[in-house]
Amino acid sequence: MIPAIEVKKVYKHFGSVNALVGIDLEIEQGEFFALLGPNGAGKTTLINILAGLTLPSNGVARIMGHDVVTSYREARRIVGVVPQELVFDPFFSVRETLSIQSGYYGLRNNDAWIDEVICGLGLLNKENANMRTLSGGMKRRVLVAQALVHKPPVIVLDEPTAGVDVELRQSLWYFIKQLNRDGHTIVLTTHYLDEAEALCSRIAMLKQGKIVALDSTRNLINSTNGCLIRLHLSSDTLPLELYPLLESYTEDCFILRVNNYSKIENVLAELRTAQIRVLEMELMQPDLEEVFVKIMGNTEDLESV
C-alpha cells in the first residue's frame, strides 16, 4: 500500500537557521499519528511542507505517492490542513466560506457533506454569521471545517486544540476519531500529551529539526524503566533495604521505582519483615509526559557532550 505520507531526507533552512535537518518519515494509510516536540522543533515547518505552504530546501515529500512540489495539484486535493494561526476571510459568512473553499477544489453540489461537517463541528446555529462576529473557538471550528470540506483522505491538524474549551475539544476529537474509523489518515501536533497518548497509535518526537523518537505510543510509554509505586506507610521511615528504590518522598508518601510490577511482592515482603503496615498503595502508570521529558532531556545531554 502506498504510504499516506512519505518524507525523505527533507531539509529546510531559513537563512542560517536550520528548521529541519534530514527528516525521514513514513505514515501509513489509516494511522492516527502525532508529531510532538517543543516550540520551534520544526513541527509546523514539516506540516507546511506537506501542505505546500513552504518549499523544502532539499529532499522529497509525497502524499499518497504525489510529490508535494512537482504534483502539487494532486497532492493538495488529497490533504486537508488545519493551520495553526487563527485566520479567516472577513468578507464572508461561515457557509459562504465553506462553499468557496469547496469550490477551490472544483467541488460543486457539495452541500450534503458541508452540512455534515457543519453539524459535526457544532456550527449549525452560526452558519449564516459573518466570520468577524465569531468567537475564537468558533473560528477554530470553521478552520477545521475548511480543511475537511473536500473530504481529504489525509487530514493534518496543527495544534487544533490550542486555546480551545473542553466542549469543542471533545466534539472535535469525536468527529476526527469517526473520520479515522472511516479510513482517513490523521496527523496532528499538540502540546497536550494526554491527547496524543489517548488518540494516537504512533508518535514522532521532534527536536531542533530532527526526529529523536519514532515508535508506537505503547512502545514509547513502555520504554521508561520500570514503574512507580506510591506508598503511605504506618512508619515514616523506610526499611534500609528499600532505600535504593526510593524515587521521592512527598506528602507523607514514599514513591518507589521498581523494574516491573512482579517486584512489588519483594517490596511488600521487606515491609512485613520490618513490621510496617501499608496504609495506602497506588500503582502509578508511566505516561507519555514522562517519556517526552526524558527524551527531550536526553538529547540535550547528547548535544552538550
Partner 1 sequence: MSGFYTLLHKELLRFWKVGLQSIFAPIIATLIYLLIFSHVLEERVEAQPGVAYTTFLIPGLVMMAMLQNAFANSASSLIQSKISGSIVFILLSPLSYMEIFVAYVLASIVRGLLVGVGVYLSTLLFFDVPLQSLLWIFVFALLGNGFLGALGIIAAIWAEKFDQLAAFQNFVILPLTFLSGVFYTIHSLPPFWEDLSQFNPFFYVIDGFRYGFFGVSDISPYFSITIVAICFLTVSWITLLILKSGYKLRQ
User: Does position 133 bind partner 1 by CB under 8 A?
Assistant: no
- Residue 105 interacts with partner 1 (CB under 8 A): yes or no: yes
Amino acid at 221: I
Instruction: Determine contact, residues 113/141, Cβ cutoff 8 Å.
Output: no
Q: Supply the minimum distance, in Å, between the C-beta of residue 55 and partner 1.
A: 6
What is the smallest separation between the CB atom of 146 and partner 1, expressed in angstroms? 6
Residues that bind partner 1 (rule: CB under 8 A) add up to a total of 29
Q: Going by C-beta distance under 8 Å and a sequence separation of 6 or more, which residues neighbour residue 30? A: 4, 180, 183, 184, 185
| Sign of the dihedral through C-alpha 198, 199, 203, 205 | negative
- The answer to the question of residue 103 lying near partner 1 (CB under 8 A) is yes
- If the CB atoms of residues 142 and 179 are measured against partner 1, the closer one turns out to be 142
Cβ atoms of 113 and 152 closer than 8 Å: no
Query: Using CA atoms, how far apart are residues 186 and 207, in angstroms rounded to an integer?
Result: 21
Instruction: Name, in order, each residue with C-beta under 8 angstroms of 213's C-beta and a sequence gap of 6 or more.
Output: 203, 204, 205, 220, 291, 295
Q: What is the dihedral of CA 138, 139, 141, 145, to 10 degrees?
A: 140
Nearer to partner 1 by Cβ, of 108 and 236: the residue is 108
Contact letters (x/-) for partner 1, 136-165, by CB under 8 A?
A: ----------xx------------------
Q: What phi-psi label fits residue 122: left (phi over 0), alpha (psi between -120 and 50 degrees) or beta? A: left
Residue 295 Cβ vs partner 1, minimum distance, rounded to whole Å: 30
Binding mask 83-102 for partner 1 (x = CB under 8 A): x-x-xxxxxx-------xx-
x/- binding map, residues 17-56, to partner 1, per CB under 8 A? ----------------------------------xxxxx-
Nearer to partner 1, 37 or 152 (CB): 152
Residue (9 or 132) nearer to partner 1, CB = 132
* Residue 85 or 301 with smaller CB distance to partner 1: 85
> Exposure of 64 by Cβ count < 10 A (0-12 exposed, 13-18 middle, 19+ buried)?
buried
Single out the residue of 2, 9, 70, 106 in contact with partner 1 (rule: CB under 8 A): 106
In 3-state terms, what secondary structure has residue 68?
coil
Question: Interface residues with partner 1 (CB under 8 A)?
Answer: 14, 51-55, 72-74, 76-77, 81, 83, 85, 87-92, 100-101, 103-106, 108, 146-147
